[in-house]
């Protein structure tokens, strides 16, 4: 008769079969697995079941479906903290760039429930902030669409209006907004009383404020002052665009703020031109500017550089405009800095958009990691995955299982050819997909296979704070 110990061992061997005997939903075989959380960089098999990473091992695994990743890099899917529009079209573009989770955290929305309802079916994971800009537009009855063009841009708010904005922001946070979004460059008439109130709410609710600061060092010092006064967590968006020629000094200022205990982080995108709506208050500085200054602007639908006359012409029409007001040197400083995460600031409107929408992450991997060798592959992947996940995790616990490859984490995975990966889109042809981003998996479902979108799948999840 078997002993009790032998009986229990026998039961255990039946209940938990050896890994080699298990059949996973999907196996990624023989890829170079890079995980920025653990520092793993080795050839491994990955077994995926029920949308989670069930095994990462050097042992051969069996899957109902298999992806041969021999010679390819396998890493966490990229997390984009700064992605506008968030439509099925832009999600398709971003998936082909390795993005598995995209957030609209700068502009945000004024209606949290409506935003998520409109994306009930989605290719990739997605989330949004409660945005000061759309809230200000609603309270001040501004007729603009995405950006304020009347009172919300050009008039100081009354005490009553500030109170109404505060209430709407607080309500948005209660409904699960990921963060508070703000664009002080687009609301130049907003006074300290109003802007400080945003930070006070953020400090009280322990939520990060994602801010497009006013131009240059003064704008950065302004938000650091608010964060220092209130203790609110601060994230400065696209520091290369904000800093321009002063990017080096701006980065030094952010580093100094971190050193003295300010809770501040930042991000960069790898292009030396920006894009915004030509009617926005952010471009008021071009009214009455010289021919040379206005020529920084490009109308992407025709490729023409603007003159004072055509600037006024297109401003009446409205639409996206390219801003050639930075240099590759400043962009490289920002992208390579250990302070920055990588975020696209994707912009797309009626078929016209910025190439960063389709190629940001592939460009970093190809241009800065492979060609310039100014970033290690591990550091680049960390900037695209673990750093953004950790920034959001205190308010959004779902992010604790994203941005890393470990057992139990969400099966959001990017698989690429490090020798080939690169962006291809341009300002005239912004919709060209990158090359070398071979396979992309969202919550265990393959959405890109052999560099092509998989039809008929929508595995993306809504990412919200846990207050809902």
pLDDT value at residue 26: 98
Q: Is 66 inside any structural domain?
A: no
pLDDT value at residue 215: 85
Whole-angstrom distance, CA of residue 207 vs CA of residue 171: 13
Query: Which domain, by its residues, includes 339?
Result: 77-272+326-405
Distance of alpha carbon 118 from the chain centroid:
19
> Radius of gyration (Cα) for the chain, nearest Å?
23
Pairing of strands 320-323, 297-299: antiparallel
Per-residue pLDDT tens over the stretch 210-219: 999 998 899 9
pLDDT at 208 over 50: yes
**pTM, to two decimals:** 0.94
Q: Is 235 inside any structural domain?
A: yes
Q: Is 224 inside any structural domain?
A: yes
Per-residue pLDDT tens over the stretch 75-112: 999 999 999 999 999 999 999 999 999 999 999 999 99
Average pLDDT over all residues of the chain: 94
pLDDT value at residue 6: 40
Distance of alpha carbon 352 from the chain centroid:
20
Per-residue pLDDT tens over the stretch 142-171: 999 889 999 999 999 999 999 999 999 999
Per-residue pLDDT tens over the stretch 121-150: 999 999 999 999 999 999 999 999 889 999
Averaged pLDDT, 320-339:
96
Task: Copy the structure tokens of residue 405.
Answer: 């490859």
pLDDT at 67 over 90: yes
Whole-angstrom distance, CA of residue 454 vs CA of residue 458: 10
Q: Is 140 inside any structural domain?
A: yes
pLDDT value at residue 240: 93
pLDDT at 15 over 80: no
Q: Which helix (H) or strand (E) holds 118?
A: none
**DSSP string for 417-449:** -TTT-B----SSSTTPPPBSEEEEEETTEEEEE
CB 298 within 8 A of CB 324: yes
Q: Is 266 inside any structural domain?
A: yes
Q: Residue 16: which pLDDT band, with cuts at 50, 70 and 90?
A: very low
Distance of alpha carbon 71 from the chain centroid:
28
Whole-angstrom distance, CA of residue 339 vs CA of residue 387: 10
Interior angle at CA 110, CA 106 and CA 114, nearest 5: 110
User: Number of folded domains in the chain?
Assistant: 1
Number of H helices and E strands in the chain, helices first, is: 16, 23
Strand, helix or coil at 244? helix
- The CATH number of residue 93's host domain is 3.20.20.140
Q: Is 241 inside any structural domain?
A: yes
Q: Is 34 inside any structural domain?
A: no
Strand, helix or coil at 174? helix
Q: Is 113 inside any structural domain?
A: yes
């Amino acid at each position: 008769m078997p002993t009790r110990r032998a009986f229990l061992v026998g039961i255990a061997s039946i209940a938990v079969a050896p890994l080699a005997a298990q059949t996973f939903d999907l196996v990624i075989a023989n890829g170079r697995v890079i995980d920025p959380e653990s520092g793993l960089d080795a050839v491994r098999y990955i077994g995926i079941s029920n949308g989670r990473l069930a095994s990462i091992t050097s042992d051969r695994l069996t899957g109902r479906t298999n992806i041969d990743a021999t010679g390819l890099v396998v890493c966490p899917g990229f997390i984009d903290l700064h992605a506008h529009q968030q439509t099925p079209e832009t999600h398709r573009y971003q998936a082909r760039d390795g993005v598995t989770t995209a957030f609209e955290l700068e502009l945000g929305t004024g209606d949290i429930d409506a935003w998520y309802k409109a994306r009930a079916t989605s290719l990739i994971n997605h989330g949004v902030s409660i945005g000061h800009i759309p809230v200000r537009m609603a309270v001040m009855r501004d007729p603009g669409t995405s950006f304020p063009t009347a009172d919300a841009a050009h008039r100081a708010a009354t005490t009553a209006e500030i109170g109404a904005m505060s209430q709407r922001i607080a309500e948005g946070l209660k409904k699960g907004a990921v963060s508070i979004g703000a664009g002080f460059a687009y609301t130049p008439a907003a006074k300290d009383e109003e802007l400080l109130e945003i930070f006070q709410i953020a400090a009280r609710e322990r939520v990060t404020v994602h801010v497009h600061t006013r131009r240059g060092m003064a704008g950065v010092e302004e938000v650091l002052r608010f964060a220092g006064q209130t203790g609110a967590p601060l994230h400065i968006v696209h520091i290369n665009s904000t800093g321009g020629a002063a990017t080096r000094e701006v980065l030094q200022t952010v580093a100094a703020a971190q050193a003295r205990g300010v809770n501040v982080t930042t991000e960069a995108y790898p292009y030396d031109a920006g894009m915004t709506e030509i009617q926005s208050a952010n471009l008021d500085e071009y009214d009455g500017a010289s021919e040379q200054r206005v020529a920084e602007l490009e109308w992407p639908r025709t490729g023409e550089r603007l003159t004072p006359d055509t600037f006024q012409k297109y401003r009446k029409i409205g639409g996206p405009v390219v801003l050639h007001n930075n240099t590759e040197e400043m962009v490289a400083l920002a992208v390579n800095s250990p302070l920055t995460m990588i975020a696209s600031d994707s912009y797309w409107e009626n078929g016209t958009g910025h190439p960063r929408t389709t190629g940001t992450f592939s460009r970093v991997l190809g241009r800065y990691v492979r060609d310039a060798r100014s970033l290690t592959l591990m550091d680049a992947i960390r900037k695209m995955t673990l750093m953004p996940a950790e920034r959001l995790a205190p308010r959004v616990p779902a992010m604790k299982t994203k941005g890393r490859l470990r057992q139990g984490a969400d099966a959001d995975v990017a698989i690429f050819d490090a020798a080939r990966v690169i962006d291809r889109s341009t300002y005239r042809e912004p919709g060209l997909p990158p090359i070398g981003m071979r396979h992309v998996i969202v919550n265990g479902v393959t959405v890109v296979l052999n560099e092509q979108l998989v039809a008929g799948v929508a595995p993306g999840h809504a990412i919200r704070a846990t207050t809902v």
